Amino acid sequence: MSLKAVIFDFNGVIINDESIHQELVDEMLLGENLRPSGSEYQKVCLGRSDRACIRDILSLRGRVVSEDYLNKLIKTKAEAYCQRIEQLETLPIYTGVKEFLAQIQAKEIVIALVTGALRNEVELVLQKAEIAAYFSIIVAGDDIQVSKPEPDGYLLAVERLNRLKPALGLQPSNCLVIEDTFAGIEAGKRARMQVVGVANTCPFHMLQRQTNWTVDYLLELEIERVQEVFEQVNI
């Protein structure tokens, strides 16, 4: 078995924007005459799509909304997120992301991205950070109805990469996932992929219990060593 694809999460792996998302969810709750809760946000929203986050955080308060109304809330939040990003003088991209992407590309390993964030949010950040060209495909929150920890996004990424590059013959066992939350790690594992936990959001020791590799920073991950392990192990 060989390593053929590295699949990145977005929020918490590429960009340090969780505080922006929490502020926007808090604003949405206040607009609904509901009180924000930081601990509730951490429990309900980390690593999950806007759809799942907003639906469930409202549901916990006894508020059930229609799909049309939910879509309206998601759209409003996405527009506000893009406005915030455009206003930033410096994007909060994690240190070493571009260098790490270049290392992977140099080894002719395909790069993809799977996220619950909406496509327009992702593309805006990738373009502004000048890293969009590294990613062969993006599976965004617009593309899937379910959120991590369901594995659907990662499995769809394999399907789309095989469509784009038929000669690749990609299987989940050829993929390495890079995640920062427990929901994302579980999604990668359920897709039968090996997972790297990067300790941007959760403590190193907690990630270490659930992942194949754990690092404090992306550039700490030795791709050559990972490739060797893939060659030796069958999942």
Give the pLDDT band (50/70/90) at residue 37: confident
- Cα-Cα-Cα-Cα torsion 147, 158, 222, 210, nearest 10 degrees, comes to 40
pLDDT tens for each residue of 76-113: 999 999 999 999 999 999 999 999 999 999 999 999 99
For residue 39, the model assigns a pLDDT of 84
Read off the pLDDT of residues 42-55 as tens digits, 9 standing for 90 and up: 889 988 999 999 99
Mean pLDDT over all residues of the chain? Answer: 94
CA-based torsion, 24, 46, 216, 223: positive or negative: negative
Give the 3-state secondary structure of residue 11.
strand
For residues 38 and 40, give the distance between their C-alpha atoms in angstroms, rounded to a whole number. Answer: 5
- Quick one: pLDDT at residue 38? 76
Q: How does pLDDT run across 157-176, given as a tens digit for each residue?
A: 999 999 999 999 999 999 99
What is the pLDDT, as a whole number, of residue 145? 86
Domains with residue ranges and CATH for the chain: 5-16+91-232 (3.40.50.1000), 18-87 (1.10.150)
Pick from 20, 29, 78, 14: nearest CA to 50: 78
What backbone torsions phi and psi does residue 48 show, to the nearest 5 degrees? -115, 160
- Percent of the chain whose predicted confidence (pLDDT) is above 70: 99
The answer to whether residue 235 scores a pLDDT higher than 60 is no
| Mean pLDDT to the nearest integer, 61-85 | 94
Q: Would you say 113 and 139 are in contact if contact means Cβ atoms under 8 Å apart?
A: yes
The Cα angle at residue 133 between residues 114 and 192, in degrees rounded to 5: 25
Closest alpha carbon to 27 in 103, 85, 81 = 81
> What pLDDT does 234 receive?
57
